[in-house]
C-alpha cells in the first residue's frame, strides 16, 4: 500500500525497499569497509612485529605492537557485529514492507486469480520468496560485497609487496573462481537429478506403505519389494555421480589452496634469498596467501544464494505485475435497506467469461425489493454462491447487469459496496486472534460497549463471561462450535449494520439449543434489511418472501414462497416432499 507503482524488477525492488533507508545503508557500508581495512591491516602489524624483532627493538616496543594488534582484532569484530546488526535491520524493514505490500496487492486481485492458485503457493510467494530476498539483501551487501572487497584488498596488498606476486595471485584467484563456479554449476545439475530420483523413490515408498492392505491381500509384497529394489538401484549411480561432482568443488578449493601455498613459499624463499624482501615480507606473502582461501569458498556459495534470490525476486515482481481485472468505480451505495436487481446476468469462470459453454449462470433476472427476503434453493453447483459473489463484485458478470440499491455494481466504489453488504458464509472464517478482533474483523475503531451490546442481543454474554480475558481472549478455529462460529459471523454483520445481508446457511445441523439461538438472532438481523438467503432448511425457506429455485445456472422456478409451497405441482413443493432441499 505504501508504493503507488509496484516494483517490477530486482533493481526497482531494491530501490523501493532499501533505498528508503539511506542512513542505515551508509552506516552498514562504512562499518563493513572499516572492518575489512582492519582485517587487511592485521598481518601488516604482525609483520611489523617480526621486523622489530629482527631489528632487536626493545621489549616494550614489541609489547606495544602486540597490544595494537590485539586492539585491532577486537575492534574489527565489534565493527562486524554492528555492521551485521545494521544490515539485518535494513533487511527486515525492507522485507517486512515487501510482505505487507505483497499481501495487500494479492488481496486487491480478483477471485479468478485466487481460484487459479492454491493458498500454499501464495504463502510460498509472500513468505518463502520474500525470505529469499532477505537473503539477497544480506548476502549481497554483507557477504558478496564484503568478500569481494577483502579479496581485492589482499591482492592489492600482495601487489604492493611485489607486482609479480600480486599478478600471480590475481591469476590464481580468477582461475579458481571460474573453475569453482563452473563445477558448482555442473554439480548443481547432478544434485537436481539426485533430488528427482529421491522424489521418485520416496513417492514410491509412500504409496506402497499406503497400499499395504492391497499388496498383502493380493500376495504382492514380493513384487512391491522388487519395485523398491529397482528404485534403489536406479538411484545409486545418480547419487554417486552427484556426490562425486560435489566433491569436485572441494578438489578445486584444495588445488587452489595448494597452488597458493606453493607459490607463496616459492616466491618467499626465492625473494628472500635474492634479498628482494625481508623475513617479515615473506611472512606477509604467506599470511595473505592463507587469507585468500576463506572468502573464495564463501563467495562461491553466496553467488549461488544470490542466483536463487534473483529467481525469487523475479517471481515476486511477476506477482506484483498481476492486475485485478475489476476496475474500481466511484458511485456510492445509498443508505437504508437496499434493493437488488439481476438483469439478464450470465457468468462463466475462466478467460472466456463470455462464451456459451462453461457458463455457470445463464440469463438470470430477478428483483428483490428493499426490505424483503429472497430464498435461493438448488443443488450444489446450481449457481447459488455465484449470485452472492456477483453481488460483492468478487467477479464481474460476463453479460447483463447487477444493481444494488439502484447502482450498477461496476460503477460503485468497491469499499462502499462491500461495506453496505453483510455476508454470513457457510463456513465462517474464524481467525486465530482475539475475540474482539474476530468480531470486528480487525477493525480497531469499533468500541467495546457496542460489541457487548451485540453479544447481548445474540445471547452470547454467558459464553463471554466464561472466557478468561473477556473480549481479549484468544480464540482459534478449532475451539468454537459450528453454532458459535455462526453467531460470531452474525455479530460481524450487526456491527457493520449493512443494508443487504447475504446469508449462506450451513447445511449441517446445529444442536437444538444453539439452533434456537441462531433463529432468534436471524429474526433480529433480517428485520428492516434486504436479505438473500441460500437456504437448505424448510424453516429458513418459510422465512423468505419469494423463492428462486436454481438448476444448472438458470432459474427453474420463482414465485412467492407461500404460493409455491401451497402448490403441490411446484418444484419447491416437490423438493420439500422428497426432503431433498437438504442438499
In the region spanning residues 217 to 256, those forming contacts with another protein, defined by CB under 8 A, are: 217-230, 232-233, 235-236, 239-240, 242-244, 246-248, 250-251, 254-255
Q: In terms of CB distance, is 66 or 321 closer to another protein?
A: 66
Least distance in Å: CB of 473 to another protein? Answer: 17
Of 4, 5, 273, 275, the residue at the interface with another protein (CB under 8 A) is 273
Tally: H helices and E strands in the chain: 22, 12
Instruction: Give the span between the Cα atoms of 176 and 255, in whole angstroms.
Output: 8
Identify the CA nearest to 106 among candidates 92, 93, 125, 120: 125
Three-state secondary structure along 370-434? Answer: CCCEEEEECCCCCCHHHHHHHHHCCCCCCEEEEEECCEECCCECHHHHHHHEEEECCCCCCCCEE
With beta carbons less than 8 A apart as the criterion, state whether 228 and 204 touch: yes
Least distance in Å: CB of 19 to another protein? Answer: 19
Q: Is 106 in the site for another protein (CB under 8 A)?
A: yes
Q: In terms of CB distance, is 100 or 354 closer to another protein?
A: 100
Instruction: Give the span between the Cα atoms of 259 and 176, in whole angstroms.
Output: 10
Least distance in Å: CB of 566 to another protein? Answer: 27
Least distance in Å: CB of 560 to another protein? Answer: 29
Least distance in Å: CB of 466 to another protein? Answer: 25
Residues between 421 and 460 that touch another protein (CB under 8 A): 421, 423, 425, 429, 431-433, 437, 441-444
Q: In terms of CB distance, is 167 or 582 closer to another protein?
A: 582
Question: Per-residue x/- marks for another protein, 477-516, CB under 8 A?
Answer: ---------------x---x--------------------
Q: Which residues pair with 364 in a beta bridge?
A: 345
Q: Is 559 in the site for another protein (CB under 8 A)?
A: no
Residues between 287 and 316 that touch another protein (CB under 8 A): 287, 290
Instruction: Give the span between the Cα atoms of 405 and 579, in whole angstroms.
Output: 35
Instruction: Give the span between the Cα atoms of 326 and 113, in whole angstroms.
Output: 11
With beta carbons less than 8 A apart as the criterion, state whether 442 and 381 touch: no
Of 171, 178, 189, 211, the residue at the interface with another protein (CB under 8 A) is 211
Least distance in Å: CB of 276 to another protein? Answer: 13
Of 170, 332, 419, 570, the residue at the interface with another protein (CB under 8 A) is 419
Run of H or E including 294: helix 293-321
Least distance in Å: CB of 116 to another protein? Answer: 12
Q: In terms of CB distance, is 2 or 355 closer to another protein?
A: 2
Q: In terms of CB distance, is 71 or 321 closer to another protein?
A: 71
Q: Helix, strand or coil for residue 547?
A: strand
Question: Per-residue x/- marks for another protein, 1-20, CB under 8 A?
Answer: x-------------------
Least distance in Å: CB of 401 to another protein? Answer: 20
Q: Note the residue count of the chain.
A: 583
Q: Edge-to-edge, what's the strand order for the sheet holding 407-408?
A: 359-368, 340-348, 399-404, 407-408
Least distance in Å: CB of 446 to another protein? Answer: 11
Instruction: Tell me, by CB under 8 A, how many residues bind another protein.
Output: 127
Least distance in Å: CB of 89 to another protein? Answer: 6
Least distance in Å: CB of 328 to another protein? Answer: 12
Q: In terms of CB distance, is 258 or 344 closer to another protein?
A: 258
Identify the CA nearest to 133 among candidates 35, 24, 7: 7
Least distance in Å: CB of 256 to another protein? Answer: 10
Instruction: Give the span between the Cα atoms of 89 and 87, in whole angstroms.
Output: 5
DSSP track, 205-256: HHHHHHTHHHHHHTT-HHHHHHHHHHHHHHHHHHHHHHHHHHHHHHHHHHHH
Give me the phi and psi of 503, to 5 degrees please: -120, 120
Contacting residues for 307 by C-beta, under 8 A, at least 6 apart: none
Residues between 48 and 77 that touch another protein (CB under 8 A): 49-50, 53, 56, 59, 62-63, 65-67, 69-70, 72-74, 76-77
Contact segment (CB under 8 A) with another protein among 92-100, 332-340, 362-370, 533-541 equals: 92-100
Question: Per-residue x/- marks for another protein, 168-207, CB under 8 A?
Answer: ----------------------------------xxxxxx
Residues between 305 and 364 that touch another protein (CB under 8 A): none
Q: At what angle do helices 145-161 and 22-54 cross, to 10 degrees?
A: 30
- Give the position of cell 474482539: 436
Question: Per-residue x/- marks for another protein, 29-48, CB under 8 A?
Answer: -------------x---x--
Lookup: cell for 507: 447445511
Of 34, 392, 463, 576, the residue at the interface with another protein (CB under 8 A) is 392
With beta carbons less than 8 A apart as the criterion, state whether 333 and 404 touch: yes
With beta carbons less than 8 A apart as the criterion, state whether 281 and 271 touch: yes
Q: Is 80 in the site for another protein (CB under 8 A)?
A: yes
Identify the CA nearest to 525 among candidates 546, 482, 545, 496: 496
Q: Helix, strand or coil for residue 322?
A: coil
Q: Is 100 in the site for another protein (CB under 8 A)?
A: yes
Q: In terms of CB distance, is 270 or 327 closer to another protein?
A: 270
Distance of CA 435 to the CA centre of its chain: 25
Least distance in Å: CB of 462 to another protein? Answer: 27
Q: In terms of CB distance, is 181 or 389 closer to another protein?
A: 389
Amino acid at each position: 500500500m505504501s508504493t503507488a507503482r509496484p516494483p517490477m524488477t530486482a533493481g526497482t525492488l531494491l530501490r523501493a525497499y532499501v533505498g528508503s533507508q539511506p542512513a542505515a545503508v551508509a552506516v552498514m557500508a562504512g562499518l563493513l569497509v572499516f572492518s575489512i581495512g582492519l582485517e587487511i591491516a592485521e598481518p601488516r602489524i604482525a609483520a611489523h612485529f617480526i621486523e622489530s624483532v629482527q631489528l632487536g627493538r626493545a621489549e616494550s616496543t614489541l609489547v606495544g605492537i602486540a597490544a595494537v594488534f590485539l586492539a585491532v582484532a577486537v575492534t574489527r569484530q565489534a565493527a562486524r557485529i554492528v555492521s551485521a546488526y545494521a544490515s539485518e535491520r535494513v533487511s527486515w524493514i525492507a522485507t517486512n514492507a515487501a510482505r505487507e505490500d505483497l499481501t495487500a496487492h494479492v488481496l486487491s486481485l480478483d477471485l479468478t486469480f485466487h481460484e487459479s492458485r492454491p493458498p500454499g503457493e501464495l504463502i510460498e510467494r509472500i513468505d518463502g520468496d520474500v525470505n529469499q530476498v532477505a537473503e539477497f539483501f544480506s548476502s549481497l551487501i554483507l557477504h558478496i560485497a564484503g568478500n569481494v572487497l577483502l579479496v581485492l584488498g589482499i591482492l592489492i596488498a600482495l601487489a604492493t609487496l611485489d607486482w609479480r606476486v600480486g599478478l600471480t595471485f590475481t591469476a590464481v584467484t580468477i582461475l579458481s573462481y571460474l573453475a569453482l563456479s563452473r563445477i558448482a554449476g555442473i554439480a548443481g545439475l547432478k544434485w537436481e537429478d539426485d533430488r528427482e530420483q529421491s522424489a521418485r523413490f520416496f513417492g514410491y515408498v509412500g504409496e506402497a506403505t499406503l497400499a499395504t492392505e492391497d499388496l498383502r491381500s493380493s500376495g504382492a509384497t514380493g513384487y512391491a519389494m522388487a519395485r523398491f529394489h529397482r528404485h534403489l538401484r536406479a538411484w545409486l549411480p545418480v547419487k554417486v555421480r552427484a556426490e562425486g561432482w560435489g566433491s569436485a568443488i572441494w578438489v578445486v578449493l584444495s588445488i587452489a589452496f595448494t597452488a597458493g601455498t606453493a607459490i607463496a613459499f616459492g616466491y618467499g624463499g626465492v625473494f628472500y634469498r635474492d634479498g628482494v624482501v625481508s623475513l617479515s615480507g615473506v611472512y606477509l606473502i604467506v599470511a595473505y596467501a592463507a587469507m585468500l582461501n576463506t572468502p573464495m569458498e564463501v563467495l562461491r556459495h553466496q553467488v549461488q544464494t544470490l542466483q536463487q534470490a534473483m529467481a525469487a525476486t523475479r517471481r515476486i515482481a511477476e506477482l506484483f505485475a498481476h492486475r485485478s481485472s475489476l476496475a474500481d468505480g466511484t458511485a456510492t451505495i445509498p443508505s437504508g435497506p437496499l434493493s437488488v436487481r439481476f438483469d439478464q446476468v450470465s457468468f462463466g469462470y475462466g478467460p472466456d467469461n463470455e462464451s456459451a459453454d462453461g457458463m455457470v449462470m445463464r440469463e438470470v433476472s430477478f428483483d428483490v425489493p428493499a426490505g424483503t427476503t429472497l430464498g435461493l434453493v438448488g443443488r450444489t453447483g446450481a449457481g447459488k454462491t455465484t449470485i452472492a459473489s456477483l453481488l460483492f463484485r468478487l467477479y464481474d458478470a460476463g453479460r447483463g447487469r447487477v444493481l444494488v440499491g439502484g447502482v450498477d455494481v461496476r460503477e460503485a466504489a468497491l469499499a462502499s459496496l462491500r461495506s453496505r453488504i453483510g455476508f454470513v458464509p457457510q463456513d465462517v472464517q474464524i481467525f486465530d486472534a482475539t475475540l474482539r478482533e474476530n468480531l470486528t474483523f480487525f477493525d480497531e475503531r469499533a468500541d467495546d460497549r457496542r460489541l457487548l451490546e451485540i453479544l447481548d442481543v445474540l445471547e452470547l454474554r454467558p459464553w463471554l463471561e466464561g472466557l478468561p480475558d473477556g473480549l481479549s481472549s484468544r480464540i482459534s478455529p478449532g475451539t468454537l462450535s459450528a453454532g458459535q462460529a455462526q453467531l460470531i459471523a452474525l455479530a460481524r454483520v450487526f456491527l457493520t449494520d449493512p443494508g443487504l445481508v447475504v446469508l449462506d446457511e450451513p447445511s449441517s445441523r446445529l444442536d437444538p439449543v444453539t439452533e434456537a439461538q441462531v433463529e432468534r438472532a436471524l429474526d433480529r438481523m433480517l428485520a428492516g434489511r434486504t436479505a438473500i438467503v441460500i437456504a437448505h432448511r424448510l424453516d429458513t425457506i418459510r422465512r423468505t418472501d419469494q423463492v428462486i429455485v436454481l438448476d444448472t445456472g438458470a432459474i427453474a422456478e420463482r414465485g412467492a414462497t407461500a404460493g409455491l409451497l401451497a402448490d403441490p405441482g411446484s418444484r419447491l413443493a416437490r423438493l420439500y416432499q422428497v426432503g431433498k432441499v437438504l442438499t
